[in-house]
Amino acid sequence: MLDRNWDALKRALLILRFLRQEPAGKTALIRLVQEVMPDAYREENEKAQSRTFERDLDNVRYRLEAMVAWDAGLRQYVLQEAGPFVQAALPDEALSGLAFLMDSFTTSEEIQEVIRPLLHWVGQTIPHSQMRQLSHQKVPLQVNIRRISEHDIHPVVWEKVIYAIRQRRIVEFFYTSPHHERSEPRRHTVEPYEHYFRNGHFYLKAYCLRWVAPNGFEDGKFWANPYRLDYILPDDLVLLGTFVHREKRTRMIPIRYKLSPHIVRGGISRYFADMQVSQPDADGWVEVNASTDNEFEAYRTLLAYGDQCVVLAPPGLVDRLRQVAESLHNFYAQSPQTLLPANETEQVR
């Protein structure tokens, strides 16, 4: 009896191991298990073999506590969560290394496509508490990465959002955007698609079905700017019905900007897709033509260049940067006594 139970456990562990690599159907999983355990699934007929396989799959789900779902489109089993028995908490040094990796390689859209599968796999192997901790993990100062994470992600928000993504459940929540008063959150109803880590924060990529302002104004049916998870309030966060996966019709926005000789000397970072770099002009400035599917991220990236970059297109991005420049000019045009707090004014005099 002990031998039979041990064999069943080994088959369940092998199924989990193979599903961690990629989705697979019953026939493929049986074949892979037999490559390691030649005596597995040697029942007298296919029906008996299928019963054994289903029991092994139940062991994966209920004894190993992994989330395995049947994907009708792929006609394969898909591992949604590996479960606690194959997770391993990382030591602080390793967690810092993972934070560095995520921060360093998620700015470029092209690199992001390459590295996302690795980060997704690693995310399944460490506890959820450590994934939340990444938004506060300090990267060694010598790697010169700015990390800004003022607020923690509430555990309820994390658990429900991750569950909603995996189960394709519509989610509704209050959101406290920094563009509005914190006391006046907006109510959003969204289809969640993925979460990702960038510049010290976790974001949610989602399709907004509806949002309602405190004054009753509402809008919806658009791909929203990424939601920061620490701006989602845990109170009244509810999961609604399931949704059908919506193919995002990516609208690539052409952008055009010029970089100063000072920036060009250090090499031009490839932050955007389809980048075409021209030859330096008479003053050494270089014009770049590129495209992006996220104007907000383009705004943040180009703003970081400060006065070493001039944005030429699109008009909406130019206007946004002009407003920021005017605000900064108006602020710093004030006298030092006006800018500084009262207890520091005396030092200026």
Burial 32-53 (b: 16+ CB within 10 A, else e): bbeeeeeebbeeeeeeebeebb
- Tokens found for residue 20: 């961690």
Confidence of residue 36 (pLDDT cuts 50, 70, 90): very high
pLDDT at 4: 60
Whole-angstrom CA distances from 69 to 58, 82, 159, 224, 309 are 11, 12, 18, 28, 49
Mean pLDDT of 244-269: 86
DSSP 171-226: EEEEE--TTS-TTSPEEEEEEEEEEEEETTEEEEEEEEEEEE-TTS-EE-SEEPPP
Query: Is the preceding omega at residue 314 within 30 degrees of 0, hence cis?
Result: yes
Mean pLDDT of 74-100: 83
Mean pLDDT of 47-58: 93
Instruction: Say if residue 294's pLDDT is above 70.
Output: yes
Residue closest to 197 by CA, chosen among 163, 229, 172, 156: 229
Lowest mean pLDDT among 129-138, 163-172, 242-251: 129-138
Q: What is the mean pLDDT of the chain?
A: 83
pLDDT at 140: 44
Confidence of residue 112 (pLDDT cuts 50, 70, 90): low
Top-confidence residue, 329 or 188: 188
**Cα–Cα distance for residue pair 12/129, rounded to 1 Å:** 26
Residue closest to 105 by CA, chosen among 216, 278, 335, 271: 271
Residue 228 and residue 161 in contact, taking contact as beta carbons nearer than 8 Å: no
pLDDT at 133: 73
- Tokens found for residue 111: 């690199």
Per-residue DSSP letter, 134: T
Q: What is the pLDDT of residues 10-19, one digit of tens each?
A: 999 999 999 9
Top-confidence residue, 266 or 207: 207
Confidence of residue 103 (pLDDT cuts 50, 70, 90): low
Instruction: Say if residue 110's pLDDT is above 60.
Output: no
Confidence of residue 2 (pLDDT cuts 50, 70, 90): very low
Instruction: Say if residue 311's pLDDT is above 90.
Output: yes
pTM above 0.85, yes or no: no
Residue closest to 145 by CA, chosen among 153, 134, 154, 155: 134
